[in-house]
Structures are given as structure tokens and as C-alpha cells.
Amino acid sequence: MRIILPVRSFSQTRPSCPSRSFRKPDATIYFLRRAYSAKTSSSNFSYRISASFSAKQNPLDFTRNLYFHDPVPGSSSVAPGTTSLSAQKRKQKRYKSGQDAFFVSTVPENSSIAFGVLDGVGGWTESGIDPADFSHGLSERMGEYSSSYTTAVAGKLQREKLLSPKPLDILQYGYDAVQKDRTINAGGSTACIGVATKTGSLNVANLGDSGYAHLSPLRICHLSTPQTHAFNTPYQLSKIPPWMKQQIRLFGNEPFAETPAKSETSTHNLSHGDVFVFATDGLWDNLSGDEVLRIISGVMLRSGAWRVDTEGAVSVSDEGLAASILERAPGADELGEGVLDLSTMLAMAILREAKECSLNKRRDGPFAKEAKKAYPMEDWGGGKPDDICAVVGVVVQEDSVS
């Protein structure tokens, strides 16, 4: 029997150094300066959230590759009762995202939004394991946990204070549930989990090389850095059967199997009109942070949600953003409807660009550039085909659009 370490499997190798740069955006693409606004302590925030996804082997299909979240309390991308279904039925209900997975859930009572993206570790296929079972199983359990949090899970004190679940707690719950699930024999996944609260905070737990960006007009407020052990080996949650652990140790090795406690946690203050992007490495390996900002900025400016004043400053347009989210943004007809929600337009735009770049053999993306630095003797170039999954949110300060 072949013994493997449960690590990421690619057709080519991947450098361990971060591919997301913190360079200043290209001044030729953007405008002269950014206008700033502050939120007050009494601000009440809501979020428009969409997901886009595409399996590596499938062509892009926006009739099947999109999810728009209805923020009704208790709603979720995970259908009620999903985790009680048989393994076969759960597979049939999965989104067509390959080994990548996602969830978006509204927390009851306080209407915070919990969401996340996960990337199944492809190396498990060499042991006859479908990596999608772990990543999708984990996302399903986190989605159900979040959508029933305050009424069925949280303690009395938390319910009275209407506290939001912490991303690390959500991840821990899902991880523990998958470890106990006998229908999931083994597997591994990266995870990037967020909770956007009614007070305008974005809480994050990130493990591995999926990642996220927090964007404001003309600015990358934050861009996450991948967690890796070494080249081609991201931090990863794993479920490893006892027999496999024993065989690996016979060779003097230890499996890569992080717990949620290894996640990098952070909190970010959101402002009206900001955008956040959570995505698997299928996006970040093909698009830099600057390129994601350029794509998002283009959609926000065309929709009128962001505007340029007479002095060249870019800021949020209350009227334009209100029209985009309440009346639905004009200008997109890919689905034959003529109009789409602003968050859906953003999710479509970055998925389309990432997919095209992944298949472009002449354009070096972030992965190719880092691979050339790490292995200058290898003939690497072009994009990196992979599953791609992204969750995109637009921040709305309710008293600014009412």
C-alpha cells in the first residue's frame, strides 16, 4: 500500500511564499485620492452577499455557478437537514464547486452573517479518498451551526446579549462534527471563515492558503497571508484514520494535521460601501490583490456605488449604493434578466477573471511568478487551473441608505 502525507496535490509544485502582495495599487488604473468616512458607535450594518464557484474541469456557467444569500434570520446556503441525509444524497445536493466548498448563513435574532470558503486537499485522491467529502462536509456542518446558533446552540448568557458566534468556534464545531461522522472516512481542507456583525465588525479565522481581502474605495485595507509548512504544503485540517497515522509514523514522519486552534484570527472595522472577498487559492493563485481591487473598483464605479468627485477623490455614493442594492444594479444581462444584485455582479466579475487567467498560458499569475523565483530551472508559466470559489460581500450602513 502506498503511504502518503496528506498534503496539497498539484500537477505542478507551488511555492510556500505568499503570493498575495501588499504593493500600492497601480496609479494608472485608479484615481488621485480616496475620500474617507467614519462610522458611529450607533451604526447598524447589513450585508449583501453572493458566492461564485467553478470546478477546475468544468466550463464557466453562471446559471449554475452562483449563489445569492437572502439575509432572512436563520437562512443558509445549506438546506435544513442536509447533514442528516445519506452520504450519497449529500453528494447530489452539493454545489458544483469541485473540491472547494462554501457556506453563508444568517445568525437568528441578531442577523450577523457567517460565511466561509474551504479547499479540499487534493493529495487524498492518491489514497482513494474524495477530498470533496471533507471540505463539503465541513462547510455543511458550519452552515447548519451558524443558522441555528442563538436558538439551538448558544447558552443563555449569549442569547440574552445576542452575541454572534466566533469564526473559530464555528470552525471548531464543524471540525469536531466531521471527526465523528462515520460517512467521512478521511480527508483534509484549508478554511477561511468570517462573521460580519450588525455593528460593522468583520471577525475572521483563517487556516491554510485560502484567504480574504477587505477593500475600500481605492484601497486594500487588509490582505491575508497564506499559512504554509513548506513548499506545496499549506496548513490543513485533517481527518486521518488510525491505521494511516501508524503507517506514516513507521517511516519516522508525522502527518500534517492542524486543528482550528492554529488558525490566524483577526478583527476588522468595516465602513459603508466596503467590499470583502473570501476565496480559495484557485483565485489568489491567478489574481493578485491589486488585480482584485481593480476588478471590484470597476464594478463599483460602473454601478454608481462608488463615485469620483470633481477633485478626483473616490468615495462611496449613498444614492448609488442604495439604488444598487435596493433596486438591483443595472448593466448585467449574463443570466438574461437584465439586472443583478451588486454582490452577484462582483462575484461574477472576479470569478470570470480568475477562470480566464487560470487558463491563459501566456500570462503569468501570482503562482507562476513565485514558482519561477523558487524554481528558476523549471519551465513554469501561465495561469494555474484549479477549482475556484469566492464569497463576496458589500457592506451597507443602514442609516445611509434609508
Contact 189, 236 (CB under 8 A): yes
- CA of 116: how far to CAs of 4, 138, 181, 203, 370, in Å? 28, 10, 21, 11, 26
- Distance CA(103)–CA(82), nearest Å, equals 13
Q: How many CB atoms sit inside 10 A of residue 77's CB?
A: 23
Torsion of CA 354, 355, 360, 363, to 10 degrees: 0
- Looking up cell 478521511 gives 186
pLDDT in tens, 314-324: 999 999 998 88
**Upper half-sphere CA count for residue 81 (Cβ side, 13 Å):** 3
6: left (phi over 0), alpha (psi -120 to 50) or beta: beta
- Distance CA(12)–CA(384), nearest Å, equals 9
> Topology of 42-401 in CATH?
Phosphatase 2c; domain 1 (3.60.40)
- Distance CA(86)–CA(89), nearest Å, equals 5
For residue 26, the Cα-to-chain-centroid distance in whole angstroms is 25
Full-model pTM:
0.87
At 186 the three-state DSSP class reads: coil
pLDDT of residue 243: 83
- Please provide the average confidence, as pLDDT, over all residues in the chain: 85
Bridge-based pairing of strands 33-34 and 313-316 is parallel
Residues of the chain with pLDDT below 70 are 1-42, 150-162, 326-339, 402
- Distance CA(356)–CA(350), nearest Å, equals 10
Question: What residue spans define the domains of the chain?
Answer: 42-401
Task: Tell me the DSSP string of 14-71.
Answer: --SS-----PPPPTTTS-SEE------TT--EEEEEEEEEE-TTSPP-TTTSEEE---
Identify the bridge partners of residue 49 per DSSP, sorted by sequence position: 393
For residue 311, give the nearest of 24, 31, 28, 25 by alpha carbon: 31
For residue 130, give the nearest of 66, 189, 173 by alpha carbon: 189
Contact 141, 178 (CB under 8 A): yes
Q: 266: Cβ–Cβ under 8 A, 6 or more apart, which residues?
A: 203, 204, 206, 222
pLDDT of residue 8: 52
Q: 382: Cβ–Cβ under 8 A, 6 or more apart, which residues?
A: 360, 361, 362, 363, 364, 365, 368
At 282 the three-state DSSP class reads: helix
pLDDT of residue 284: 98
pLDDT in tens, 147-194: 998 655 555 555 555 578 999 999 999 999 999 999 999 999 999 999
To 5 degrees, how large is the angle CA 62–CA 300–CA 332?
A: 35
